[in-house]
Structure 1
């Protein structure tokens, strides 16, 4: 190849090529020459110039290397016959939208180029540069460096496009999972609502004691189920926004496990599962929020019960491993495909549709498990040998040593004596207000009603209310403003103020405290908790100033 030989002659002279410019390294320059010797001499020259030459053995080899990725093509016009030009033009036309592969052609004079009209087919299809003989080394190196930098920018565009496509696919997948979640949420809400509607209809049409007992039991259970769904949704919201606050204390994990197992027993019995628990009673101490750890364990047990066919086996074990406490929930249920294990803790991820639809589940329980465990500096793990082979979930939490004065949590509970109070119930929802008033009246309290803020202030003064159960979302004057006005009056400063609201975030509780409330309860109100608060006499301080 006369041009290359001449070029190499220049390279061996005192005109040494300049060092490569920054950003021109890292991509190969594909060389297509008439002879092996020409290709080798050209490659040696480019290598000396700090570039990355790569010799191609022919057009097919060139095609494969282009598809694998390259920076530019350096080709002599001698190898570009009509058929070769057509193949190269087709290759350029097949480029993706981000690609504009640079081609540098070593040719004779422009008159010679004009004589080879078939070469003009490359011009409209590609990024073609022509260098005439005799070739100056610096000109060739500079042209190739510029081509490489251009190609690197193209690859940057490719990366950006791929990242955008990835983000688009992730967004579409997130939307799909959210849509699926909303469909499941509607399903989960309709089931208990349908049961409540049926029980209510039976209560209207029948007065026998058996029907009454069955209907009230259904309403109570389904109300609890609806509350559980709402609590899970609120927990996910708090977790994703980082607003969960742990109330850590030195606890005996065995007591937490006892409570979780007791709570799970009805679900296990309903499905006919054989449920076994095995853990020491005095060797599982840790610094943790007992309510949240119980929630973690109960979620794992509920998950095992739901995804294990009836009459299955579920085991809960816990051991102290010195530095850690290991809790394991194992079942012989439907199992999990190994490839799905990493995504089991992702938000809105559910089990197989056939099981999930029949057994329920919003796809958020395991997310709560993982996040709460990590907030306690612990780890959660899932294992399954495959579909039909059961699943094992484990949590690992940092262990502590028992305190000398430590007793089993829950061994002693102070039960305040019953004190009848003058209670004012304030809610713009008449059914809710009247229903709660009847329940508190049965509990021995003297109850008055108000349905807005102005009426609440008047009734509180008229009745000299000792306790006020106050809905936050009142029309006009909201519950916060009512509480502030009550605290400004001598007859309202000593009253026990209990906020009732559908909002349970930490900032909602803080806002209630700032307005003058003593307690904060989330709808639907836990009647046992409310009765407990009302039993406390005025001179007895509340254990918690603000409680969920």
Structure 2
């Protein structure tokens, strides 16, 4: 029986009886005791006058509390005093020994009545507490149950029996209280591991008396819930208080997942910040190194006299300046390419491309660097004439990056091999070397931006760690793939680029192949090889550039071609020169103060043809994006050059425009003399 049941049974106390009932009952008990005394007078005599009245006092106190006990005590004392003490039938003072007997009886009876009253009071308090507990448990939002231990013959706990289940517990357990009461714990709960774990913990509480506070999962995996369970001992049983913490657990799991995600994001941010710092340090070093050579040689060339021994040093200095300037230009171009890749602004000028010609040109451009380092550069073409549909300049950039990378990491006496072969529907370009190879742990990251196997200040090879990232992106834009393999450090590396072969539909659609340079180079229709050799003597070229150094460089390059150049520092000055100088070709910078090259070209094209409105024009700018080129061509320029320009690019563009001038297409006629 549960504690609550016992307390409810004990709640029937004297407080529920009226005063007449308590007094009447006490008098009835006293009368019965007197009657028994008279009935057994022949046996007891006068020797034990109070022997039957002590039980009567106890019964009266139990029935009527303090009042009932006192009534029985008074009635019995009066009866004995009147009928038994000498003188009989009188309330005169009795002899001393009778007085002692009477006093002892009265004192004992009063004490017994007080104890009975205290017992009744305690029972009333316990009953009220039990009632409050019952109401609280019945209306509690948490589950509360009591279970009693079931033991086998040796005394081991083999199960627990449900004794009390409050409504909240029944709801959480998804069982009716009546279906649990009196039954065993192990036979009424689902599951195996969780049920037996709970049983073991309950048995341990009964054996040790130490309470347990634990969180346990409950139910099948798809309906699992979490409970926080407090188990305390009750004699040979337990009281279990539990609450559903599934929501809190899920919140904890979500919070833990968010925390883990935040830690990963923070680690990624810290890694990105570290890479940024390394990149900034690397780019600072890589940009300052060529600048140091350029500035140093410039200072020496200005300070040296024109002595004979200075001529050779001047030549070396000029070569160093050109070499380092080209190095810096390539670094800047790599950074711009990565920026375009990140923002998704890389555009391909797709056409049918003879891949062997593109790869061959890239290899030949790097042969001097390989020879200077003592590295053998070999080219093997097994698929001549095979074409891909792509951007020739970008494909050449892919090959240039891979081959230059191989040369950089191959020591003197090593070999760099380039091969082209068709396998199935793909053309494969393999670049292999006998250089330092790639560590296995670094191989998965070799195509990541800013990723370098050695980023320390003592590294032997320069670079920003951008070349291979650019290669991967450009190859993927062409619908191909690139992979790297290496057997480890000191065993060389091989890079394999796979590009889809141009299909019949593309070959038919592009039967007339247009040769167009990629982004960052010249963009003109090509003339025949014979026409390009036509002399340019007497051709007039107007150069428009607000920067004096840039204008002077362009003029010097044009003079080497035999043309007659002139410089205008602004759009306004250029419009005057069209009338005064009467040029055949216009070369204009796009970015100028007050009025840019676009505005100048709009004004030029608004002129009548005989006033220069049809003059061929070349746009020159530091803005090397595809959209900048398209905007320039749409504005009326026939060709486009991205800074820094080379003498070869400028000669190529001017020569082609000169050929078109000689063929006399409508609107491209030179000004009349």
Range class of TM-score, shorter chain: 0.7 to 0.9
Matched residue, 1:122:
none
2:463 is the counterpart of 1:361: yes
Which aligned pairs between 1:409-424 and structure 2 lie closer than 5 A? 413=529, 415-416=531-532, 417-419=534-536, 420-424=538-542
Structure 1 residues 456 and 411: alpha-carbon distance in aligned structure 2, compared to 1, 3 A threshold: closer
Distance 1:383 1:75 in 2: 62
Distance 1:373 1:282 in 2: 20
Which aligned pairs between 1:92-103 and structure 2 lie closer than 5 A? 103=228
2:194 is the counterpart of 1:53: yes
Structure 1 residues 154 and 272: alpha-carbon distance in aligned structure 2, compared to 1, 3 A threshold: same
Distance 1:492 1:167 in 2: 61
2:350 is the counterpart of 1:350: no
1:414-453 CA distance string (max 9 Å, x none): 5332344322222222122122212213322222222233
- Confirm or deny: 8 A CA contact 2:383 2:420 kept in the other structure: no
Matched residue, 1:169:
267
Structure 1 residues 440 and 455: alpha-carbon distance in aligned structure 2, compared to 1, 3 A threshold: same
1:396 to 498, 522, 530: 498
TM-aligned CA deviation for residue 41 of structure 1: 4.7
TM-aligned CA deviation for residue 348 of structure 1: 0.8
TM-aligned CA deviation for residue 388 of structure 1: 2.1
Which aligned pairs between 1:127-276 and structure 2 lie closer than 5 A? 130-131=241-242, 143-144=243-244, 147-204=245-302, 205-207=304-306, 208=308, 209-276=311-378
1:200-235 CA distance string (max 9 Å, x none): 234321433422332222222222222222222222
List alignment gaps of at least 5 residues for structure 2: 1-146, 150-158, 176-182, 216-225, 516-525, 669-673
State the secondary structure of the residue aligned to 2:494. Answer: strand
TM-aligned CA deviation for residue 108 of structure 1: 8.0
Structure 1 residues 5 and 79: alpha-carbon distance in aligned structure 2, compared to 1, 3 A threshold: closer
- Confirm or deny: 8 A CA contact 2:212 2:231 kept in the other structure: no
TM-aligned CA deviation for residue 194 of structure 1: 1.9
Matched residue, 2:205:
78
Matched residue, 2:594:
476
TM-score normalised to structure 1 length: 0.74
Matched residue, 2:652:
532
Distance 1:307 1:336 in 2: 10
Structure 1 residues 237 and 480: alpha-carbon distance in aligned structure 2, compared to 1, 3 A threshold: same
Distance 1:277 1:85 in 2: 79
Matched residue, 1:135:
none
Matched residue, 2:429:
327
2:476 is the counterpart of 1:374: yes
Specify which structure has the bigger relative contact order, considering alpha-carbon pairs within 8 angstroms and separated by 6 or more residues: 1
- Confirm or deny: 8 A CA contact 2:430 2:496 kept in the other structure: yes
- Confirm or deny: 8 A CA contact 1:384 1:391 kept in the other structure: yes
Distance 1:457 1:58 in 2: 100
State the secondary structure of the residue aligned to 1:385. Answer: coil
Matched residue, 2:408:
306
1:508 to 606, 625, 628: 628
- Confirm or deny: 8 A CA contact 1:76 1:105 kept in the other structure: no
- Confirm or deny: 8 A CA contact 1:8 1:41 kept in the other structure: no
TM-aligned CA deviation for residue 371 of structure 1: 0.7
Superposition RMSD on alpha carbons, in Å? 3.9
TM-aligned CA deviation for residue 259 of structure 1: 1.1
1:282 to 373, 384, 394: 384
State the secondary structure of the residue aligned to 1:415. Answer: helix
TM-aligned CA deviation for residue 310 of structure 1: 2.8
- Confirm or deny: 8 A CA contact 1:309 1:333 kept in the other structure: yes
Distance 1:102 1:210 in 2: 89
- Confirm or deny: 8 A CA contact 1:350 1:356 kept in the other structure: no
Structure 1 residues 372 and 266: alpha-carbon distance in aligned structure 2, compared to 1, 3 A threshold: same
- Confirm or deny: 8 A CA contact 2:588 2:619 kept in the other structure: yes
Distance 1:243 1:500 in 2: 21
TM-aligned CA deviation for residue 250 of structure 1: 2.7
Distance 2:471 2:345 in 1: 16
Distance 2:211 2:411 in 1: 66
Larger radius of gyration between Structure 1 and Structure 2? 2
TM-aligned CA deviation for residue 523 of structure 1: 0.9
Matched residue, 1:519:
639
- Confirm or deny: 8 A CA contact 2:211 2:231 kept in the other structure: no
Distance 2:199 2:293 in 1: 76
- Confirm or deny: 8 A CA contact 1:75 1:104 kept in the other structure: no
TM-score normalised to structure 2 length: 0.61
Structure 1 residues 267 and 359: alpha-carbon distance in aligned structure 2, compared to 1, 3 A threshold: farther
TM-aligned CA deviation for residue 305 of structure 1: 1.4
Distance 1:319 1:54 in 2: 68
State the secondary structure of the residue aligned to 2:442. Answer: helix
Structure 1 residues 368 and 530: alpha-carbon distance in aligned structure 2, compared to 1, 3 A threshold: same
Count of residues in Structure 1 that have an aligned counterpart in Structure 2: 464
State the secondary structure of the residue aligned to 2:531. Answer: coil
Structure 1 residues 431 and 77: alpha-carbon distance in aligned structure 2, compared to 1, 3 A threshold: same
1:91-122 CA distance string (max 9 Å, x none): xxxxxxxxxx962325589xx99xx9xxxxxx
Structure 1 residues 221 and 9: alpha-carbon distance in aligned structure 2, compared to 1, 3 A threshold: same
TM-aligned CA deviation for residue 77 of structure 1: 9.4
Matched residue, 1:461:
579
Matched residue, 2:97:
none
Structure 1 residues 153 and 354: alpha-carbon distance in aligned structure 2, compared to 1, 3 A threshold: closer
List alignment gaps of at least 5 residues for structure 1: 21-36, 60-73, 90-100, 117-128, 132-142
